[in-house]
Amino acid sequence: MLDILNALLVMGGLGIVFGVILSFADKVFAVPVDEKVALIRDNLAGANCGACGYPGCDGFAEAVAKGEAPITGCPPGGSKTVQALAEIMGVSATASEPKVARVLCQGANEIAGIRYEYSGVESCAAAVAFAGGPKLCQYSCVGLGDCVNVCKFDALTIENDLAVIDDKKCTACGMCVNVCPRHVIELVPRSATVAVRCRSSAKAREARAACTHACIGCKRCEKACAFDAIHVADGFATIDQEKCTQCEECIKVCPNNCITVS
């Protein structure tokens, strides 16, 4: 009987002592936490997916509270989260249109010319560092899947040495946009289906020699557009999504089929 009592007293005593010490330490070492952080954290999707680019939901909540991250930065949370965060942060929730990532290159096998056979590290960044990558075009998708590796939602695949995005799975987190060494992935509104899928700044002849689907900057689309929405700059055409009405006139005049509808 005494044994049990001793055991109870010793363990219970240890517990009480530690409890007291820790509760004091909690007060002494208390770090003032912005109460917004906890509120924001509660309203996030809470999957710790990293789509926002911060280390977990806690990191994102802190950044939002500091005003460093946009309230629309949590793709899995959707519009519900945006509204809740807007209320907490006291800013108006702009009805953000859902976005999607798009690969601005059509340089798959047979379409884009190959310069050399690459058999090094399976990484676009490494391949680009090695004499500018295996494809003739210096502005094309390398096709070694840095974006596939970074995608947390399985939305990307490499088909015929070209990155392909599954619109249904894409949450527009922007991880692939940041990792692509050639910057050929872009976030666009989901409603913007027409896209110029080439970013080659090369001269017309070189661009055409490197890829059959290259934008050569001929400005035919610019002339065909009735809404002043497409312009050639740096040797390739870009669409101003705010003006574009998806009328597809530019697609009809493009000589190299580098404008597409998805």
Partner 1 sequence: MRLAEVGFFLFMVDCILCNNYIFSRFLGNCPFLGVSSKVETSIGMGLAVTFVMGLASAFTWVAYTYLLEPYDLKYLDTIAFIFIIAALVQFVEMFMKKSLPALYNALGIYLPLITTNCAVLGVALLNIKSSYGLIESVLSGVFGALGFLLAIVMMAGVRERLETSDIPKPFRGFSISLVIAGMMAVAFMGFTGLVK
According to DSSP, residue 153 is labeled: T
Among 1, 26, 205, 226, binds partner 1 (CB under 8 A): 26
Structure tokens at 257: 């089929």
Min dist CB 7 to partner 1, Å, is: 6
**Nearest Cα to Cα of residue 155 among 144, 141, 167:** 167
Residue in the structure block whose two tokens are 């108006």: 92
Q: Applying CB under 8 A, does 255 fall inside the site for partner 1?
A: no
- Alpha helices by DSSP H, listed for 70-225, are 78-89, 124-129, 146-150, 175-179, 204-210, 220-224
Task: Report the nearest approach of partner 1 to the CB of residue 34 (Å).
Answer: 14
- How far apart CA 108 and CA 92 sit, in angstroms, is 43
What is the C-alpha to C-alpha distance for residues 99 and 203, in angstroms, rounded to an integer? 32
12 touches partner 1 by CB under 8 A: no
Identify residues 224-253 at the interface with partner 1 (CB under 8 A): none
- Give the DSSP letter of residue 76: G
Q: Which stretch binds partner 1 (CB under 8 A): 24-32, 109-117, 161-169, 240-248?
A: 24-32
The only residue of 16, 38, 91, 121 in contact with partner 1, by rule CB under 8 A: 121
Beta bridge partners of 122: none
Quick one: which segment of 2-10, 136-144, 148-156, 179-187 binds partner 1 (CB under 8 A)? 2-10
Per CB under 8 A, the list member of 31, 226, 233, 261 interacting with partner 1 is 31
Task: Considering only the stretches 5-13, 69-77, 208-216, 228-236, report the one whose residues sit in contact with partner 1 under the rule CB under 8 A.
Answer: 5-13
Distance CA 66, CA 69 (A): 8
State the minimum distance, in angstroms, from the CB of residue 40 to partner 1.
18
At residue 221, what is the residue type?
A: C
| Rounded least distance, CB 206 to partner 1, Å | 31
Q: How far is the CB of 25 from partner 1 (least distance, A)?
A: 5
Residue 167 is given by DSSP the state T
List binders of partner 1 among 45-74 (CB under 8 A): 55
Binding residue count for partner 1, defined by CB under 8 A:
20
CA dihedral 102, 169, 144, 73 (to 10 degrees): 70
User: What is d(CA 26, CA 5) in angstroms, rounded to the nearest whole number?
Assistant: 31
Q: Which of 67, 98, 120, 255 binds partner 1 (CB under 8 A)?
A: 120
The answer to whether residue 20 forms part of the interface with partner 1 (CB under 8 A) is no
Query: How near is the Cβ of 231 to partner 1 at its closest, in Å?
Result: 40
The encoded tokens of residue 119 equal 């058999």
| Interacting residues toward partner 1 by CB under 8 A | 3, 6-7, 10-11, 14-15, 18, 21-22, 25-26, 29-31, 55, 120-122, 126
